[in-house]
Amino acid sequence: MEPIASLSGIAQGHGRHQVITGLDWDLGVGVHGLLGPNGAGKTTLLRTLATIAPPQEGALEICGRKVHSERTARAARPMIGCFSVFPAWGGCRAGTAPGSRGRTGSAQGVVTW
């Protein structure tokens, strides 16, 4: 089965500060989680996968389509969904998926603390 997202040689950061360097990763179908300390690059990686922040280096493919410009990023966004857990809000909340025109949904009770 082909990966739904493929990253090859991804480098990403903020200005001159590199947070991610040389990342190669194929994401298959399923649920994935990122764990790490503050500043490890979790949000930066998710922003890259969601095509919000283009990679500074490397190649990104979403559903077999290369994302290399704003035009190709816009074409990939309807195929991407994001979900975040915000414990401070007392439950789970579906994040806004790029291309969803601001629609959000509630998933209260799916995960309990």
Where are the domains positioned within the chain?
A: 5-80, 81-113
Beta carbons of 59 and 81 less than 8 angstroms apart: no
pTM over 0.75: no
User: CA 40, CA 75: separation in Å to the nearest integer?
Assistant: 29
pLDDT 10s digits, 16-53: 889 999 999 999 888 888 888 988 898 899 889 989 88
Topology of domain 5-80, per CATH? Rossmann fold (3.40.50)
User: CA 101, CA 106: separation in Å to the nearest integer?
Assistant: 16
Nearest to 74 by CA among 96, 50, 94: 50
